[in-house]
Amino acid sequence: MTPLLVAPWGGSQLLAIPLDVKSNAVMQGIAWFATHFIGLFKAAAESFVGLATGVIPLLLVLITFMYALTTWIGEKRVTHAVQWAGKYAVTRYTLMPLLAVIMLTNPMCYTFGRFLPERYKPAYYDATVSFVHPVTAFFPHANGAELFVWAGVSAGVLKVDSGAYARLAALYFLVGLIVILMRGLVTQGFTNFLIKRGGHEAVFQKFDEDYAQGQMERTEEAVA
């Protein structure tokens, strides 16, 4: 017998609503909403537990390791390595962004641009901002807030081949380095073109002379 919902009032006419979910579209809708409403929060809770036991400890360990490594190597040595990398176009748009993103993480990594002449800063920013996602394949601490980009890239591949994670991470990382090199060189070309077209050669020549004389270093020391 199908259960009925009977109106509390008396009378010859009764409000009878079948409570059998299978035979009542309204009850089916209510049951579907309740199930998925609770299911949404259950999925969020499971995701949070996964982060708390997996990604978050990994990020904390990596951040601690990088701070310890920087302290062990010494800030001056790190600064010299960054300045050396900024001298050559290939290292300026590969090694320099790599060191910046790994050691300073996003968004502090852009501050390494202070070691470059003014004409190279736009290209350095373009290269660095393009590497904050590929770097998460091996160094998720560098951009933990947007780790979902790498997770989305790897999720589909892992469903097809669960053993392809290491190969995918390496390719993702290497392709990122190639892309930022290309972007850096192209942006540097555009910057030089715009400097010439705008008639700013003299201004940037003065910037280059100040940089060669170490004026920025003296300014930083004075501020410090």
The arithmetic mean of pLDDT across residues 190-217, rounded, is 84
pLDDT for res 44: 62
pLDDT for res 140: 82
The arithmetic mean of pLDDT across residues 28-49, rounded, is 69
Task: Give the confidence band of 123 by pLDDT, cuts at 50, 70, 90.
Answer: very high
Better-predicted residue by pLDDT, 150 or 63? 150
Domain ranges of the chain: 26-63, 74-196
The arithmetic mean of pLDDT across residues 18-45, rounded, is 68
pLDDT over threshold 90, residue 174: yes
Query: What is the value of pTM for the model shown?
Result: 0.66
pLDDT for res 173: 92
Residue keyed to tokens 């002449």:
117
pLDDT over threshold 80, residue 122: yes
Task: Give the confidence band of 180 by pLDDT, cuts at 50, 70, 90.
Answer: very high
The arithmetic mean of pLDDT across residues 121-142, rounded, is 90
Beta strands in the chain (DSSP E): 4-6, 16-18
To the nearest whole number, what is the mean pLDDT of the chain? 78
The arithmetic mean of pLDDT across residues 177-183, rounded, is 96
Write the DSSP string, 22-86: GG-HHHHHHHHHHHHHHHHHHHHHHHHHHIIIIIHHHHHHHHHHHHHHHHHH-HHHHHHHHHHHT
Residue 18: strand pairing partners: 4
Find out whether 110 and 125 touch, Cβ atoms under 8 Å. yes
